[in-house]
């Protein structure tokens, strides 16, 4: 089976490529390296290119008959999306449409889309299942929700089958220590906490301690990047088995506060982690926790590295040796 992984040089994409390679798939990565790293692509053919360039897409689809396409290439910073919506709609929506149009033109019919908990906006109930209202509150979330809706229409009109996977907080790293999170600038909690543990940052700033949660800090559902990868494989299998298009929320169903993450990181690393308390970050809901029962029952998805200490230990290995 041949898979095209768009954004395969990025954090989640590179872990996906390694998993596909281990399972015997023939993988092509298309990445413009705006945020990804060439050396993170293991065991795949690499094509440098941008989804903006329809000629590259046509050439790729003419050369290789792909059995599925996975799309990880998107900008992910909520705050930046508010300041620069044009950048987000161009990259995350318009370029995705370019990819879908090329797939349709070349009759490639199976698509797995990286979506996000940000499509739900401020939650009205926790845990968040698939039926929860979609009211994104920033251009990042709105763009992802637009693509999800576009996919519904493309299925109806053109028969393109897709699965949207809404990640909650992707975290952790390859347990072998070969891959990990390398964002620049890094904005995610766990890598920042571990950089503070390693002495690469003076401290971690906790964004807000007056939320309506037991310890006053925000609660998130951290899910291991390899468990997300497994969900992608199961989603593709669903489509190959003739399943209908679908969307799933992916998390472990357990919420951890920022303080709990820091305490767990202290226990895992055995290091001091200096903490400062700062203002709330705009647009952060107090609590985001997934109800992933649908992914478990319909896809047969079981997270194997669900424990927060395991997630942090894998990320720590990468922080020390990556």
Structure token pair of residue 106: 């070349």
Residue that is written with structure tokens 């047969």 in the block: 300
Largest Cα–Cα distance in the chain?
57
Tell me if 134 sits within 8 A of 119, measured CB to CB: yes
Residue nearest to ligand UDP (CB): 218
| Nearest residue (CB) to ligand UDP, 223 versus 234 | 223
Tell me if 179 sits within 8 A of 15, measured CB to CB: yes
Q: Is there binding between residue 220 and ligand UDP (CB under 6 A)?
A: yes
Least distance between ligand UDP and beta carbon 168 (Å): 8
Q: Is there binding between residue 169 and ligand UDP (CB under 6 A)?
A: yes
d(C-alpha 304, C-alpha 4), whole Å: 25
Q: Is there binding between residue 179 and ligand UDP (CB under 6 A)?
A: no
Strands 219-220 and 256-257: antiparallel
Tell me if 319 sits within 8 A of 174, measured CB to CB: no
Tell me if 28 sits within 8 A of 6, measured CB to CB: no
Least distance between ligand UDP and beta carbon 12 (Å): 13
Stretch that binds ligand UDP, among 104-112, 205-213, 263-271, 305-313 (CB under 6 A): 205-213
Is 89 catalytic? The answer is no
Q: Is there binding between residue 201 and ligand UDP (CB under 6 A)?
A: no
Secondary-structure percent of the chain, ordered helix, strand, coil, rounded to 5: 40, 20, 40
Of 93, 206, 239, 315, which lies in the binding site for ligand UDP, with binding defined by CB under 6 A? Answer: 206
Instruction: Give, as ranges, the residues between 230 and 259 that touch ligand UDP (CB under 6 A).
Output: 258
DSSP H helix total and E strand total for the chain: 11, 13
| Nearest residue (CB) to ligand UDP, 53 versus 284 | 284
Least distance between ligand UDP and beta carbon 213 (Å): 10
Q: Is there binding between residue 194 and ligand UDP (CB under 6 A)?
A: no
Q: Is there binding between residue 77 and ligand UDP (CB under 6 A)?
A: no
**Which residues sit at the interface with ligand UDP, rule CB under 6 A?**
169, 187-189, 192, 204-207, 218, 220, 258, 281, 284
Catalytic residues: 140
């Amino acid at each position: 089976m041949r898979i095209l992984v768009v954004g395969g040089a990025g954090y989640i994409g590179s872990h996906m490529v390694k998993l596909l390679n281990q399972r015997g798939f023939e993988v092509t990565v298309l990445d413009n390296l705006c945020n990804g790293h060439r050396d993170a692509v293991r065991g795949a053919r690499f094509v440098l290119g941008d989804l903006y360039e329809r000629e590259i897409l046509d050439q790729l689809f003419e050369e290789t008959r792909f059995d599925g396409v996975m799309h990880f290439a998107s900008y992910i910073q909520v705050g930046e999306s508010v300041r620069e919506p044009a950048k987000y709609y161009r990259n995350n929506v318009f370029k995705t449409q370019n990819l879908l149009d090329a797939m349709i033109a070349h009759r490639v019919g199976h698509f797995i889309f990286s979506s996000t908990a940000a499509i739900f906006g401020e939650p009205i109930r926790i845990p968040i299942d698939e039926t929860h209202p979609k009211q994104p509150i920033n251009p990042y979330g709105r763009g992802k929700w637009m693509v999800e809706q576009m996919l519904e229409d493309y299925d109806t009109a053109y028969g393109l089958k897709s699965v949207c996977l809404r990640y909650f907080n992707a975290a952790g790293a390859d347990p072998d220590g070969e891959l990990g999170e390398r964002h620049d600038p890094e904005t995610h909690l766990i890598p920042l906490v571990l950089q503070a543990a390693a002495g690469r940052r003076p401290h971690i700033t906790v964004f807000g301690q007056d939320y309506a949660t037991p310890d006053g800090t925000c609660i998130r559902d951290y899910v291991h990047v390899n468990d997300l990868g497994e969900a992608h494989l199961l989603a593709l299998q669903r489509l190959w088995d003739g399943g209908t298009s679908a969307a799933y929320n992916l998390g472990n169903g357990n919420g951890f506060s920022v303080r709990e993450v820091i305490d767990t990181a202290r226990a895992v690393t055995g290091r001091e982690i200096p903490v400062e308390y700062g203002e709330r970050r705009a647009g952060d809901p107090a609590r985001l926790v997934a109800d992933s029962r649908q992914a478990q029952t319909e896809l047969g998805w079981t997270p194997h590295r669900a424990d927060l200490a395991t997630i942090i230990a894998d990320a720590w290995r990468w922080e020390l040796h990556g």
